Amino acid sequence: MNELIKKLCNAHGISGYEDEIREIFKSELENFVDRIEVDNLGNIIAFRDGEEPSIMLAAHMDEIGLMVKSISEDGFIKFLKIGGWFDQSLINRRVVIHGEKGKKYGVIGCKPPHLMKEEEKKKAILAEEMFIDIGAKSREEVEKEGIKIGSPITLDAEMKELINNRITGKAIDDRIGLAMIIEAVKRIKSDFKIYAVGTVQEEVGLKGAKTSAYKISPSIAIVCEVANAKDYPGLEEKEKSIKVDGGAVITVVDAGGRGLIVQRRVLRWLEETAKKEEIKYQLEVSDGGTTDATAIHLTKEGIPCGVVSVPTRYMHSGVEMISMNDFEECVKLVSKAIDNLKFFYE
């Protein structure tokens, strides 16, 4: 399983450029479903035929990244942020620019501290003040490498295994969700109709979730995601509600209710499954971000939707960290929830 996750996390695909991840998702599922389609926006939908009701399993394929905005006369590249970055996490990172002549490597630079005045050192450096250096001496050299305005950029980072069955890497948000779906589809024993969906452009507006849910109009949906773990220095004990190795995270409310308020029957379904199957889980009430579930549950006349997430440290940093123990609990919960769909209707 670590090899699949490594393959997904090490693949590159910012919002709107998810092609590489889509091919991995397809190759992993094609022998376990009846057919696979790609919709007009680029979402991949794997259909497993079966009985009603139909269940949508969704995870987004895109990662946060950058895009070439301009190239200076002396060969430095200014960039646009695609998705939610904390600017300071970009400083001095290696990046991959995906140009017309393949992958080219560079580093994100800024004014070094040695040349800063004391008041400058006290201020946060904004992304607008940074640039990418590929070693070029001129704009012409950059362009000869196949790099132009609009070329997508990702972090040059690989998944690594840590101690205690934990891993770190870029794009765990939400490649781990895709891995959850792939493994869950292989384990589901019931004969219900399944739609396994890799969505596009979640990080910039939940766009793929809207069109894919509208197309397939499932009876129920589960979004496979990541949740912010809070078990690290700097927080009071009462704030450490979601913990690594605490088990699967079941969302109750996200974005303070502006995103998803999970229906009680969906919560009952997921919790009763976890209790019956002895799956370790924790509940999340969040005033932070949201997921594809926000778009899915508002599609057409409304689709009951839950979210099962892997607790994750250092979200949107390029060094996101999870426990494979939690991943396994999430896979069990998603697959067993479908096998225990009776709890949804009780």
Active site residues: 202
Closest CA to 179 of 338, 343, 301, 10: 10
Peptide bond into 53 cis (omega under 30): yes
- Dist CA 112 CA 12 (whole Å): 29
Q: Do residues 201 and 207 touch, judged by C-beta distance below 8 A?
A: yes
Indicate the DSSP class of residue 87.
G
> How large is the angle between the packed helices 324-339 and 264-276, nearest 10 degrees?
110
Closest CA to 92 of 125, 68, 115, 139: 125
- Our CA angle for 253, 255, 256, nearest 5°, is 65
Q: Do residues 67 and 14 touch, judged by C-beta distance below 8 A?
A: yes
Q: Do residues 129 and 81 touch, judged by C-beta distance below 8 A?
A: no
Question: What string of DSSP letters covers 12-34?
Answer: --BTT--HHHHHHHHHHHTTTSS
Enter the tokens of residue 112. Answer: 């070094």
Q: Where are the alpha helices (DSSP H) in the chain?
A: 2-10, 19-29, 118-121, 139-144, 172-187, 207-216, 264-276, 292-296, 324-339, 342-345
